[in-house]
Amino acid sequence: MYGLLRAADLSFAYGTAPVLRDISLEVSRGAFVGVLGPNGCGKSTLLKLMAGVVPPQGGTLLFDGEPVSRIPRRRLARRVAIVPQETHPAFDYSVLEMVLMGRHPHLGAFAFEGPADVAAAHDALAATGTAHLATRSYMTLSGGEKQRVIIASALAQAPDLLLLDEPTASLDLGHQLGLAALLRDLNASRAVTLVLATHDLNLAASVCSRLVLLREGRVLAQGPTTEVLTPANVQALYDVDADVTFHPGAGHLMVTPLRRHGAQA
């Protein structure tokens, strides 16, 4: 019995520069998986492979037991949605128009959105707390509002798997906490399977049930968050000495960086 997504010995390179090597992992249906690692370790590329944006150059990648490379693009887009680091629309769309773009994989050639598509868009807006912004210009929104709208657009696709690439990178602390709460709710109440690529160890600790640690294109460690997020693994991943403790107020592990590994205290 396959998980929702399974990779075995996956590899990918840009030209002659290898980015991912021998990646094996499984994402179970309903899981919330965090992908952590330093800049250039292959996190964004791994999400692109999972979404079918680029094909793997080695190994196998299965979605519901079927090779991703054999799934027609439109059919895959109905089941897998990706939220990129940044979204820059070519025109000044309204928020509702941005969210309706998520319905395109469900439309036939030259078809227009119908009442069911509009209803799905409004439902996605409500789920992300952005229903009141429906008539606003997307370009006038704050960074946190834009991120929620892009997640709403992805939800409008009605995906089984939602991939998020550094969703809190440009957000202030309040919006980071708000987004974390939103993602937890989507995973718990809507049973959306999520894969989150992030640098934020504490965000991952607060929302992810499992972690995959990447360094130099290889899996350094993977497993339940409470087992993988350790001082030794943080040191191996980032060359940083850190204190990892359970915070009773937050209800999850907290990572406190102490110093660059090997530096004088």
pLDDT value for 125: 92
- Residues 162 and 155: beta-carbon distance below 8 Å: yes
Go through 158-196 and write b for each residue having 16 or more CB atoms within 10 A of its CB, e for each that does not. bbbbbbbbbbbeebeeebbebbbebbeebbeeeebbbbb
pLDDT value for 265: 57
Helix (H) / strand (E) containing 99: helix 95-100
The correct answer on CATH 3.40.1410.10 for the domain covering 5-79+159-260 is: no
Instruction: Tell the residue number behind the tokens 């974390």, with chain if given.
Output: 180
pLDDT value for 193: 94
Q: Compute mean pLDDT per 10 residues along the chain, 265 residues long, and list them.
A: 82 91 94 94 93 91 91 88 83 92 76 83 90 94 89 89 88 85 88 92 94 95 96 94 92 91 66
Domain with CATH 3.40.50.300 in the chain: 5-79+159-260
Q: Round to whole Å and give the CA distance between 115 and 125.
A: 15
Reduced to 3 states, what is the DSSP secondary structure of residue 98?
A: helix
